[in-house]
């Protein structure tokens, strides 16, 4: 059976392939790198970004109401731990790979923003 999904990442030891399944509703899944059954690692409707580092999966949650947070998830036990909560209104996660964790799991990088803005561009005299 062929699996399809988005944002695939190998575990640092190369044993697992983590990804967002095609239907997205399932959250973060993993399967053995050499093939095998898929298993659900994490599911949350507020999932906005994620990363794999060391022996953990990190999830950035962006609830519609309330501050964003970062969870550390042990994929073996399913244990979840909130490791950081942003001050209200400070940051939002997007699926633009906006979360990264150093290999030693001591530093987290987040490309966040307080708001989304755009520019209006006028293109004049074109044919």
Residue 127, in any domain of the structure: no
Provide the CATH number for the domain around residue 53. Answer: 2.120.10.30
Residue 124, in any domain of the structure: no
Residue 122, in any domain of the structure: no
Q: What is the pLDDT of residues 24-68, one digit of tens each?
A: 565 899 999 998 999 999 999 888 889 999 999 999 988 888 888
Residue 94, in any domain of the structure: yes
**What pLDDT, on the 0 to 100 scale, is given for residue 2?**
60
> Could you tell me if 17 and 30 are in contact, meaning their C-beta atoms sit under 8 angstroms apart?
yes
Q: How far apart are CA 14 and CA 120, in angstroms?
A: 45
Half-sphere CA count of 45, side-chain side, radius 13 A? 3
What total number of domains does the chain contain? Answer: 1
**What pLDDT, on the 0 to 100 scale, is given for residue 4?**
75
Q: How far apart are CA 37 and CA 43, in angstroms?
A: 18
**What pLDDT, on the 0 to 100 scale, is given for residue 79?**
95
Residue 51, in any domain of the structure: yes
Region label for 34, one of left (φ > 0), alpha (ψ between -120 and 50) or beta (otherwise): alpha
Q: What is the pLDDT of residues 59-118, one digit of tens each?
A: 998 888 888 899 999 999 999 999 999 887 776 776 655 788 888 998 888 876 656 666
**DSSP SS3 for 126:** coil
Domain that holds residue 24: 5-110
Q: Which residues pair with 58 in a beta bridge?
A: 51, 72
For the entire predicted model, the pTM comes to: 0.81
Residue 100, in any domain of the structure: yes
Residue 32, in any domain of the structure: yes
Residue 11, in any domain of the structure: yes
């Amino acid at each position: 059976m062929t699996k399809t999904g988005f944002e695939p990442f190998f575990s640092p030891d190369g044993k697992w392939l983590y990804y967002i399944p095609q239907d997205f509703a399932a959250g973060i899944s993993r399967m053995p790198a050499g093939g095998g059954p898929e298993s659900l690692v994490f599911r949350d409707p507020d999932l906005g970004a994620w990363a794999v580092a060391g022996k953990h999966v990190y999830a950035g949650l962006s609830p519609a109401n309330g501050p964003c947070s970062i969870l550390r998830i042990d994929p073996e036990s399913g244990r979840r731990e909130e490791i950081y909560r942003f001050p209200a209104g400070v940051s939002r996660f997007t699926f633009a790979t906006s979360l990264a964790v150093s290999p030693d799991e001591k530093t987290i990088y987040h490309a966040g923003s307080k708001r989304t803005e755009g520019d209006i561009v006028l293109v004049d005299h074109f044919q």
